[in-house]
Structure 1
Amino acid sequence: MSRVSDTVPTLGDGVYDMICVGFGPASLAIAIALHDALDPQLSGSPAATHRPKVCFLEKQKQFKWHSGMLLPGSKMQISFIKDLATVREPRSEFTFLNYLKSQGRLLSFTNLGTFLPSRLEFEDYMRWCANRFEDVVAYGQEVQEVVAGGAEASGLTQSFLVRSKDLNSGVISTRRTRHVVIAVGGKPRMPHGIPQNPRIMHSSAYCTTLPDLLKDHSSPYHIAVLGGGQSAAEIFHDLSKRYPNAKTTLIMRDSALRPSDDSPFVNEIFDPGRIEEFYALSSEERRISIAADRATNYSVVRLELIEQIYQDMYMQRIKNPDSSTWQHRILPRHTIEGVYQIRTNECLKIHLQTADNRRQKEVLEVDALMVATGYTRNTYEELLSKVQNLRPTGSIHWGVNRNYSVILDRAKVGSRAGIWLQGCNESTHGLSDSLLSVLASRAGELVESILREHLPKPGRARALL
């Protein structure tokens, strides 16, 4: 078994200017922003004499975006204008509209009369963008750690080593870079007490894993879904079509499915300009602000989907007033007390507890449990565990500057080296931090901050890496 210490020499010649860990939407937006920043046709500036040396390391073997939740008919929750380029540079060749034009669907999409493309189409748009950067992306690379590159003559750390494992060969590679951007996305969150079991899956694996477990779409399975947000509601609604003879049960802590607030004034909290204002708040003010705006993004469902589900539930009520016998049930104010499996490869027994603990406990026998309880966004802590000594004296947590750079002790780290975090700064940069809404403008800020010296002068220039 390969170990981190079993490394091959640093890849490539010289030092990278920037390595991005992960190649999801956040890193893809960075690649696009850098492409545009080097394109003289967009800036009117002479072409750059030196192109920065960059690399993107991605664990998946090809570009994918939430492949487990590409449900038939599911739509984006934001306008296509908030794609990976338009808000920052509408003239970019990487806009969603240019993608439509290249696919011969621009007028057809216009005839839909919507700002919300299907999730399937938006994923295809991002893959179309990603294909342009294959020469600077290493797929199948699982980054294991970031370590200091060693002190140079100045006595300061001027670079970092990024170690990754090739998932095909098992070989550990080391790349040296001045700047590391960590943009690994969220890690599926499983509630405490939910055991590991092949019949228990996170919502992120719904489309990719459940069909392999429950292969007969006509069987009378019983499938439970845990959660009260958009993903849980989408899965609960889709199951009745995917498995028309199955019983489905939605288990949720709240008393009802609640609609997301996407009204115009509230939606302005996702504008890039709000980040500056939010970052300037005190920690307590930020906490209060996030709590006040949770109905825009957490444990909420788009109203149209709620109405569809209610319509389906109402039709059951017409046929049979006894809700305990319905094919599709919603159990509000319930939590899972325990999940058990008597014998291997047999159904699960889910013990439920009501919130008030007054009603009789219910036990469900199910063939599968889908857990739609969100994501944690702290993977960077493990990746940076070997460079904790570079934090300012007395710091026990990673702090982040307004420009997304990690706060480091500059008595130990040179000014031309840095670590940057993407998609895990909600507490300092607001609710939009893990969403698509700000990716285009944020990527432009990041490229300007990290690679300013490599961009054509004057201005921020914009040509392919």
Structure 2
Amino acid sequence: MSDSSRNTAAEDDIYDLICVGFGPASLAIAIAIHDALDPRLSGQPPAAKQPKVCFLEKQKAFQWHAGMLLPGSKMQISFIKDLATVREPRSDFTFLNYLKAQGRLLSFSNLGTFLPSRLEFENYMRWCAARFENVVAYGQEVQEVVSGAASSGSVDSFLVRSRDQASGRVSTRRARHVVIAVGGKPKLPPGFPQTARIMHSSAYCTALPGLLKNQSSPYHIAVLGGGQSAAEIFHDLSQRYPNAKTTLILRDSALRPSDDSPFVNEIFDPERVDGFYALSPEERKSSIAANRATNYSVVRPELIEQIYQDMYMQRIKHADASKWQHRIYTHRTIDHIDHEDDNRLKIHLVPADGSRRHPHEILAVDALMVATGYSRNVYEDLLAKVAHLRPRESADKSWDVNRNYSVSLDRGRVSRRAGIWLQGCNESTHGLSDSLLSVLASRGGELVESIWGEHLAKKRPQVKRAVL
């Protein structure tokens, strides 16, 4: 891969591919391109001309969920589902090759686990990302994608405009193909006041220590949510702030265990995407609803057991629940929050179902961690100025996504040499695995094949190649 101009490409310079965002999805694409060009893997002589690519990333360096790298937290998928192995086990970018390079291969095997720590897996991805620094422009916040030059009446490229967060300079890069892989945007419930004392779970490790600086103080910290992130934070708070009161607020009646049993876990296999995509919209919704316990508002059983053990120990020390240091409020939701000064929040709790089974309660807290997930529609704003290039028959004005992750465009107005792809925001069409790590290795290979075809990417026989 080449990038002759990195941060300041001229408008008349054209890239074969620009990826907006350089998280795990784009990193998997970079690795797939690298492997496709590797004569050792392809069995073909080196390509006469390498594709010219560029990755634009808002962060100053590669990071993956930096705010949730809790001590002792483990991955929820096998290391085999890294960024390369499922697609090409011989790749230089497998997790096992990373361990070998770090001198930890046998030491890791002695752990007897397929689940590395989250900290180590993030380190593995940073190790991979370091190999592509010459084609990544960090600190670039992409503002918009607009149509580029037109030949014979058809748009044959796109312009990607980004702002350098250090200098404020706006740069424009031209590309035949654009991939939007910006990840999820932290989602807070509507109506919450704007204050540093309310923060999304994604900022737990990076922002909370700066707000509550004295780890021995008797703070009161609340956590909103019933999924893995909320449970991890609730558990970690007792270690991080041993004298603090903590409160977990759930809409449900209890923490629910995730289902990662073998047969159910097969829904995350890459080949399942074909079958899911072939379903009708109604069948897709039913499938997602039936398998929500694999990913949404659920917690790994061993963490539930640990939290229950901690809560039980309180019963031994204090029969009076009002004296417990850690509390779980079920069937509750937050009605509103008062923030009258810079010191504390007043959280008003009400029954989640609108009944009167529980009295209206007010919690005075020093901070509220909100673990309510992410929204994945950022691409709509980035692509607003090319929305007119969608097929005219798109009555609902939505972005239709093909099986190969390209968006449907009016080929009467857009050349077949140009295209836009979406990554990590296609759950409704490609299944529950779409925003997860499980399919990244295979999906990166599929995307490379769909853009460059057989001359660059090896065809995977088990995947039907979609036609643009």
Which TM-score applies when normalising by structure 2?
A: 0.94
Match of 2:293 in 1: 295
Match of 1:141 in 2: 140
User: In terms of mean alpha carbon deviation, does 267-276 or 38-47 score higher?
Assistant: 38-47
1:118-129 matches, cutoff 5 A? 118-129=117-128
Match of 1:354 in 2: 351
Inter-partner Cα distance in structure 2 for 1:233 and 1:450: 41
Match of 1:3 in 2: none
Say which SS state the counterpart of residue 281 (structure 1) adopts. coil
- Deviation of 1:454 (Å): 5.8
Say which SS state the counterpart of residue 400 (structure 2) adopts. coil
Say which SS state the counterpart of residue 108 (structure 1) adopts. helix
Say which SS state the counterpart of residue 224 (structure 1) adopts. strand
Say which SS state the counterpart of residue 175 (structure 2) adopts. strand
Inter-partner Cα distance in structure 1 for 2:253 and 2:331: 5
1:43 and 1:459 in contact (8 A); partners too: no
* Match of residue 331, structure 1, among 329, 337, 348: 329
Say which SS state the counterpart of residue 165 (structure 1) adopts. strand
Relative to structure 1, is the Cα distance of residues 9 and 371 closer, same or farther in structure 2, using a 3 angstrom cutoff?
A: closer
Match of 1:159 in 2: 157
Inter-partner Cα distance in structure 1 for 2:338 and 2:413: 52
Match of 1:422 in 2: 423
Whether 2:347 is the aligned partner of 1:366: answer no
Say which SS state the counterpart of residue 78 (structure 1) adopts. coil
RMSD value over aligned CA atoms?
1.4
Match of 2:4 in 1: none
Match of 1:4 in 2: none
- Deviation of 1:446 (Å): 0.3
Match of 1:16 in 2: 15
- Deviation of 1:269 (Å): 0.1
Which TM-score applies when normalising by structure 1?
A: 0.95
1:51 and 1:454 in contact (8 A); partners too: no
| Structure 2 letter corresponding to 1:137 | V
Say which SS state the counterpart of residue 268 (structure 1) adopts. helix
Whether 2:100 is the aligned partner of 1:95: answer no
1:165 and 1:171 in contact (8 A); partners too: yes
Match of 1:223 in 2: 221
2:68 and 2:205 in contact (8 A); partners too: yes
1:1-80 matches, cutoff 5 A? 10-11=9-10, 14-80=13-79
Inter-partner Cα distance in structure 2 for 1:138 and 1:459: 30
- Deviation of 1:13 (Å): 6.4
Inter-partner Cα distance in structure 1 for 2:61 and 2:324: 42
2:338 and 2:345 in contact (8 A); partners too: yes
Match of 1:172 in 2: 170
- Deviation of 1:193 (Å): 1.9
Match of 2:444 in 1: 443
Say which SS state the counterpart of residue 436 (structure 1) adopts. coil
Say which SS state the counterpart of residue 90 (structure 2) adopts. coil
Inter-partner Cα distance in structure 1 for 2:238 and 2:120: 23
Match of 2:404 in 1: 403
1:50 and 1:454 in contact (8 A); partners too: no
Say which SS state the counterpart of residue 87 (structure 2) adopts. coil
Relative to structure 1, is the Cα distance of residues 453 and 44 closer, same or farther in structure 2, using a 3 angstrom cutoff?
A: closer
Whether 2:443 is the aligned partner of 1:452: answer no
- Deviation of 1:9 (Å): 8.1
- Deviation of 1:320 (Å): 1.1
| Structure 2 letter corresponding to 1:111 | N
- Deviation of 1:195 (Å): 1.7
Inter-partner Cα distance in structure 2 for 1:9 and 1:302: 46
Q: Deviations over 1:1-45 (max 9, x none)?
A: xxxxxxx98537631000000000000000000000000101111
Q: Which has the higher contact order (CA 8 A, sep 6+)?
A: 1
1:217 and 1:243 in contact (8 A); partners too: yes
Inter-partner Cα distance in structure 2 for 1:134 and 1:199: 36
Give the share of equivalent positions with the same residue, in percent: 76
Inter-partner Cα distance in structure 2 for 1:69 and 1:420: 28
Structure 1 consecutive aligned stretches of length 4 or more whose deviation exceeds 6 Å:
none
Say which SS state the counterpart of residue 370 (structure 1) adopts. strand
Q: Deviations over 1:234-275 (max 9, x none)?
A: 000000000000000000101000000000000000000000
Say which SS state the counterpart of residue 438 (structure 2) adopts. helix
Inter-partner Cα distance in structure 2 for 1:263 and 1:29: 26
- Deviation of 1:150 (Å): 3.1
Inter-partner Cα distance in structure 1 for 2:55 and 2:453: 19
Inter-partner Cα distance in structure 2 for 1:79 and 1:453: 30
Say which SS state the counterpart of residue 336 (structure 1) adopts. strand
Tell me how many residue pairs correspond in the alignment.
Answer: 450
| Structure 1 letter corresponding to 2:65 | H
Inter-partner Cα distance in structure 1 for 2:60 and 2:435: 23
Structure 2: gaps (5+ residues): 1-6, 461-468
Say which SS state the counterpart of residue 322 (structure 2) adopts. helix
Inter-partner Cα distance in structure 2 for 1:428 and 1:111: 40
Whether 2:240 is the aligned partner of 1:242: answer yes
Match of 2:463 in 1: none
Say which SS state the counterpart of residue 368 (structure 2) adopts. strand
Say which SS state the counterpart of residue 437 (structure 1) adopts. coil
* Match of residue 273, structure 1, among 264, 271, 274: 271
Q: Deviations over 1:167-217 (max 9, x none)?
A: 000000000000000000000010122221110000000000000000000
Say which SS state the counterpart of residue 110 (structure 2) adopts. helix
Relative to structure 1, is the Cα distance of residues 459 and 46 closer, same or farther in structure 2, using a 3 angstrom cutoff?
A: farther
1:223 and 1:369 in contact (8 A); partners too: yes
| Structure 2 letter corresponding to 1:391 | R
Q: Deviations over 1:372-431 (max 9, x none)?
A: 000000000000000110011142100000000000011110001000000000000000
Q: Deviations over 1:92-146 (max 9, x none)?
A: 0100000000000000000000000000000000000000000000000000000
Whether 2:315 is the aligned partner of 1:305: answer no
Match of 2:3 in 1: none
| Structure 2 letter corresponding to 1:245 | N
Match of 2:112 in 1: 113
Inter-partner Cα distance in structure 1 for 2:450 and 2:10: 25
1:59 and 1:141 in contact (8 A); partners too: yes
User: In terms of mean alpha carbon deviation, does 388-397 or 174-183 score higher?
Assistant: 388-397
Inter-partner Cα distance in structure 2 for 1:195 and 1:291: 32
